[in-house]
Structure 1
């Protein structure tokens, strides 16, 4: 468990990408063993542990602590109202979504997309 306090709480929810500044704790589950043969069992353990505590969790999370298969809705919830703004920035700087091997923010659709000539 990591406390969310101090300087983190002195920044407004919309001043940076991460908006869960009213949370009191962040949690990371790490299942590590040097034996690669145990990876499947450890992954199962981590996912079962997560499933047992998820009902007590907020909507989003800290994306750097997320598992790779948590889904787009959870990523969006992690950024809250900031997701739309970040998606527009992504459209400008990474319109082809090259940087997508992560908890991805998809580029916003072009404002001209879907419009027809008059």
Structure 2
């Protein structure tokens, strides 16, 4: 997985073994991986959490290895994540995707995601 993260974000280092273990141990997180033989060719993190208006989910850090793109890996990861979110009782699943990720945005729309009329804000701590 360490080689996938730089393909997603050049500004963040890959997680250490301890950091990844902590994410996997967190009951709110499902770290999904796609494999081709012994190689991990894609990953996605599904976060499911309760809030006063119901159970919600976010899909985060979706990345498919450059060599595996266009082969259905991203679709399989997202489809499984949506099924898992449904099983865990989520009412909605949200995600964000940069406009420059054109293929990913087409995939999300094909899967039924709808762009929301909202602003996404971030506060860096």
TM-score of the superposed pair, with normalisation by structure 2: 0.31
TM-score of the superposed pair, with normalisation by structure 1: 0.32
Larger gyration radius, structure 1 or structure 2 = 1
Q: Which has the higher contact order (CA 8 A, sep 6+)?
A: 1
Which has the larger share of helix? Answer: 1
